[in-house]
Amino acid sequence: MKLLIVEDEVLLSKSIAKGLRKLGYAVDCAFDGEEALELLEINTYDLMVLDINIPKINGLDVLKRIREAGSHLHVIILSAKNTVFDKVKGLDCGSNDYLTKPFDFLELEARIRNLLRQNTGFHDSVLRCGKMSIDTSAKKAYWDSALLDLTKKEYSILQYLLHHPDTVISAEDLIEHVWDSDIDLFSNSFRFHIHSLRKKIKEAGSTGEFITTVRGQGYMVSSCEEDSV
């Protein structure tokens, strides 16, 4: 999952980004409203954490602009403004959630996780597809009852595919949602992670190809097969 952090306090922004990356999220950071809108124009994000008091274009105006443009991106406002009036104003402008500073990172991550489940239509913290299951709260994946020892990138790829069963996902779409914006699209890193993920699934007991390649289109997992071939 790919997130955008819009926060002008550099140390706070870096701290949030570092914590989320450790959990397997791909994270971009913007430090003012103009930069945020530019990144939103060229990238696809699953969720945005947005401060209100940011330079050039304030957070509420950024939020209004993307809503007026028809964006349904989930947005969590992160602000030191903690009155009921401020919270109502933020929610009325189109925010999905409002978290006041100071805050605990665990609470922010839980709110992000909750909104991402809503975003994909899955409200259970466990995703299942045949013999594969993912505990999105614990960030663990299982084939049948065997725990898979996945890297953060492998886990993120698998999670994104399981959020979209029976749907062909292009390599570009996977890269867009799993890597930060500075990934080299022509590197072998992506193919290496797919290969490694498939190998670990087979070592856990899969007899087929759980992640199938649709030639010229992308990758897919099937919800109707116990062990895709």
Tell me the CATH number at 32: 3.40.50.2300
For residue 213, pLDDT over 50 is answered with: yes
Per residue in 214-223, pLDDT (tens digit) is 988 999 998 7
Contacts 24+ apart (CB under 8 A), 57-62: 57/32, 57/33, 58/33, 59/6, 59/33, 60/89, 60/90, 60/93, 61/33, 62/6, 62/33, 62/36, 62/37
Query: What is the distance between the alpha carbons of residues 9 and 170, in angstroms, rounded to a whole number?
Result: 35
- The pLDDT, as a whole number, for residue 182 is 59
Look up residue 157 and give its two tokens.
């790829």
Residue 227 within any structural domain of the chain = no
The predicted model scores a pTM of 0.68
* Cα 2 off chain centre by: 4
- The pLDDT, as a whole number, for residue 123 is 47
Per residue in 54-68, pLDDT (tens digit) is 999 999 999 999 999
pLDDT band at 229 (very low <50, low <70, confident <90, very high): very low
- The pLDDT, as a whole number, for residue 228 is 44
Q: What percent of the chain has pLDDT over 70?
A: 91
Look up residue 196 and give its two tokens.
């490694």
Q: How many domains, the chain?
A: 2
Looking at 120, 136, 158, the residue that finishes a domain is 120
Residue 75 within any structural domain of the chain = yes
Domain that holds residue 31: 2-120
For residue 178, pLDDT over 90 is answered with: no
Strands, E assignment, 124-180: 126-129, 132-135, 140-143, 146-147
